[in-house]
Structure 1
């Protein structure tokens, strides 16, 4: 009988899990809150306990599984199975994640960056559409990315490949948490859209609902900006147009370098759908090399919140390949 996979998508507030078959179909999924207290020391024990409980609940044992794949924030040493610098998890020191999970559950585990895992998910079962060359961009709290070339994830010499959020789109622009200025993350993430909204509103003199909210110091969200743009708010449309111009420019650079078949846009901001996709595509085409413009397609992600666990589970498939060599 074909064996099953375990996928883990570790996030700063929620940890998602799934049992999948070896074709990438989700058999069951669940989630737990991520307890980042005490320097994140409870995170791995809680994951182990949750998987053990779910295996008991579904009457599975270790022999039913090929292995575990996990996507995590932070810098991942894939050879050592360690994670460091995941500040939203309070993991400042090196965490021996693979050793802890593998010894407790008696299963092999492969770990990668969370954006890479989501990229693999869309590549395998989502908008990747069976293409061998795919770039995934996730527009969430930050902007992350993953690059798949010839069917394989690109990691780079130090694991830094796919840092799409740190392409510079505005010289001397907004200060980024990475230390640089003008990074895409400061313009096209959920928080970046709000930043662009406030900056654009400061120069706007007409009537606008979003202008009223900002002037009254009320909280606004990227979701609200896109909603009001859809409903004809002039300023909201200017904000969306500016965000999409930055995103389209950054994606054109990626297209010009890699010429992937698909560039897939996911993450919470992508829920804006065509309101985001259409102007972004226009700016992409304006800035892309002609042969790239005619061959690389921009698409919306399809898997939503499942991309991370599905992609993580595909990492576990590699364990089977390496063990059979």
Structure 2
């Protein structure tokens, strides 16, 4: 007997990744470049053409994580960075008509959080935050086992909060390394692995900044767990000391003592999360009431 299949789509500025997911495992995968300078209609047609190779009768839904602002209810994506023609794309309507399947959208940070909640270390927790630490600083929020997106999926934009002379994103993403040290985080990570004292100090300083961001998240959301994804999270063992040093300043130590902070252990979590969004939303649908027979 076949289990339900979902399609997960991670839309990036330069590539789109598609996965066919069964039981939390990607059983088929597609990757293709985004025609960033093409028209909105051409990019949609290319996406549909690729999806035609994997969508079949067993697929129960299509989930999408997209950068930019997302109207989840109406399935509209706004202002996708690096794709100039995608200023307003009625993606749900287009794909629903093309494939006659339920389509669910959220932004990419939310997709990460949903993937961690449904298939990763986040499963035991009702309330968690997923932090995507890469070229930017994005956050996905799970409240009472469901994703909380706010207006146009803009909830969790902690990276835009003013911090020092810039914003939290400037100090808590990969931008910290390039802007403050002139070298990418991957180089500092490699040096730290060799025991380089300067690299260890740089990553400790980064951890202190990230700890300050997490304190803000604790004041605002008080989650049970925070999971870290993105390229910078791979340095966790080298910045965790600075992070926890910063958290020692949080006034409610009973909160931090219970808080779980861990890097994600899931590969392709954005694709899995997009597929999991379908499963989550469909499981949360209310059961139709039936009238008793007289």
TM-score between both structures, scaled by the size of structure 1: 0.81
- 2:257 aligned residue: 294
Displacement after TM superposition at 1:242 (Å): 2.1
3-state SS, counterpart of residue 117 of structure 1: helix
- 1:152 aligned residue: 146
Larger fraction in strand: 2
Change (3 A) 1:323 1:131: closer
3-state SS, counterpart of residue 35 of structure 2: coil
- 1:139 aligned residue: 133
With 45-54 and 68-77 compared, the bigger mean Cα shift is at 45-54
3-state SS, counterpart of residue 63 of structure 2: strand
- 2:291 aligned residue: none
Q: Any residues of structure 2 matched to 1:269-288 within 5 Å, and which?
A: 269-287=232-250
Q: Any residues of structure 2 matched to 1:181-200 within 5 Å, and which?
A: 182-198=166-182
- 2:5 aligned residue: 4
Q: Any residues of structure 2 matched to 1:1-325 within 5 Å, and which?
A: 1-21=2-22, 23-55=23-55, 61=56, 63-170=57-164, 173=165, 182-198=166-182, 220-287=183-250, 289-304=252-267, 306-317=268-279, 318-319=281-282, 322=285, 325=288
Change (3 A) 1:80 1:158: closer
3-state SS, counterpart of residue 263 of structure 1: strand
User: How far does the alpha carbon of each residue in 1:262-319 deviate from its partner, in whole angstroms, 9 at most, with x for none?
Assistant: 1111101111131123322332233352121111121111113x11111111222224
Displacement after TM superposition at 1:90 (Å): 1.8
Change (3 A) 1:41 1:235: farther
Unmatched runs of 5 consecutive residues or more in structure 1: 56-60, 174-181, 199-219
Quote the RMSD (CA, aligned, Å). Answer: 2.0
Change (3 A) 1:91 1:75: farther
In structure 1, how many angstroms separate the alpha carbons of the residues matched to 2:194 and 2:115?
33
In structure 2, how many angstroms separate the alpha carbons of the residues matched to 1:95 and 1:247?
34
User: How far does the alpha carbon of each residue in 1:51-72 deviate from its partner, in whole angstroms, 9 at most, with x for none?
Assistant: 11234xxxxx2x2111101000
User: How far does the alpha carbon of each residue in 1:219-243 deviate from its partner, in whole angstroms, 9 at most, with x for none?
Assistant: x321101222333434333322221
In structure 2, how many angstroms separate the alpha carbons of the residues matched to 1:285 and 1:159?
32
In structure 2, how many angstroms separate the alpha carbons of the residues matched to 1:267 and 1:42?
30
> Is the Cα–Cα contact under 8 Å of residues 74 and 86 in structure 1 kept in the other structure?
yes
Change (3 A) 1:288 1:115: farther
TM-score between both structures, scaled by the size of structure 2: 0.90
Change (3 A) 1:101 1:228: same
In structure 2, how many angstroms separate the alpha carbons of the residues matched to 1:288 and 1:243?
21
User: How far does the alpha carbon of each residue in 1:236-260 deviate from its partner, in whole angstroms, 9 at most, with x for none?
Assistant: 3332222111110110121233221
Change (3 A) 1:108 1:127: same
Larger fraction in helix: 1
In structure 1, how many angstroms separate the alpha carbons of the residues matched to 2:186 and 2:180?
13
In structure 2, how many angstroms separate the alpha carbons of the residues matched to 1:125 and 1:291?
28
3-state SS, counterpart of residue 258 of structure 2: coil
3-state SS, counterpart of residue 227 of structure 1: helix
3-state SS, counterpart of residue 128 of structure 1: coil
